[in-house]
Structure 1
Amino acid sequence: MGRHVFLRIVDALSNFDPYFQQQVDALGRKGLSSLQKCTAAMRMLAYGVGADAVDDYVCIGKSTAIECLKKFVTDIILIFENEYLRKPNSNDVQRLLKMGEARDFPGMMGSIDCMH
């Protein structure tokens, strides 16, 4: 994933959900940053690792990593569903068909049959 895409996701999450904003506790200590929380969630999704495996890389506890992942997935759907999780329109279909033909995969939109 490109840096700009990652930072766009982090920015969108921190603007949407206060959970992804860095907080200060009663003693004045800074909590986890939005970068740490998003990195933990994305590493678990991308590499299929458990919550305890991100502790060494991101310095985040197992229960917090799980909480980050749950909030991350929920918020990503809420933020980006209208842009990316929609049915393709006719322009999208035509663009995908042209890409398929350019890559020697003509008719790709209807050619995959997983049952046979």
Structure 2
Amino acid sequence: MNKSLFMHIVHRLSAEVEYFQPTQDAVGRSSLSPLQKCTAAIRQLAYGGGADTVDEYVRLAKTTAQKCLHNFTTGIIHLFGDEYLRRPTPEDLERLLHIGEQRGFPEMVGSIDCMHWEWKNYPTAWKGMYSRGTGKSTIVLEEVVSYDLWIWHAFLELQVSFP
């Protein structure tokens, strides 16, 4: 994620979601900054680690990291869901088909991409269940986007195979 996008998300969350607004405790010390809270959430999402993996990097406890992640995802859905996380309307489809045709891809609405992410901190009880025969556990990320990166459908599909 580039810095300007990340800072845009931090700014919107700190301006519109109460959990991300800076506060002070009873002694007058500042609480965690919106930047710390968002960084903790993004690191958990990006690296697939548990809440206790950000304690040294961002300097917050496991329960606080869990709250950051929960409030972050709830805030993203609330602030950006209607615009970016929705099914395309007939007008969207018509616009995308027209742009695709102009770019030399007639009848193309969007493109799909899949990738395997190594799942480092999977539950040990599931050992071997999520692998591609390489011995490494993976999760498949699949998404469909338009030319301007408007995401219509993104989901995680667990790749189940037994070695």
Task: With the length of structure 2 as denominator, give the TM-score of the two structures.
Answer: 0.58
Tell which deviates more after alignment, 92-101 or 46-55.
92-101
Tell me the residue number matched to 1:4.
4
Cα separation, 1, equivalents of 2:61 and 2:112: 45
> What amino acid maps onto 2:54 in structure 1?
V
Q: CA deviation at 1:12?
A: 0.6
2:73 is the alignment partner of 1:73: yes
**Residues 11-22 of structure 1 correspond to what in structure 2 (within 5 A)?**
11-22=11-22
- Identify, as 1 or 2, the structure richer in helix: 1
* Structure 2: runs of 5+ lacking an equivalent: 114-163
Specify whether residues 93 and 70 from structure 1 end up closer, same or farther in structure 2 by C-alpha distance, changes over 3 A only: farther
Identify which of structures 1 and 2 has the higher relative contact order when contacts are C-alpha pairs closer than 8 Å and 6+ apart.
1
Cα separation, 2, equivalents of 1:95 and 1:68: 39
Tell me the residue number matched to 1:58.
58
Offset from partner CA, 1:38-97 (integer Å, 9 cap, x none) = 000011011101110001110011000001101110110010012101222121344457
Q: Output the aligned Cα RMSD.
A: 2.5
Specify whether residues 98 and 60 from structure 1 end up closer, same or farther in structure 2 by C-alpha distance, changes over 3 A only: farther
Tell me the residue number matched to 2:83.
83
> What amino acid maps onto 1:7 in structure 2?
M
- Identity across aligned pairs (percent)? 46
Q: CA deviation at 1:2?
A: 0.9
2:24 is the alignment partner of 1:29: no
* Structure 1: runs of 5+ lacking an equivalent: none
Cα separation, 2, equivalents of 1:49 and 1:95: 39
Task: With the length of structure 1 as denominator, give the TM-score of the two structures.
Answer: 0.80
State the SS of the aligned residue for 1:55: helix
Q: How many residue pairs were aligned?
A: 108
> What amino acid maps onto 1:75 in structure 2?
G
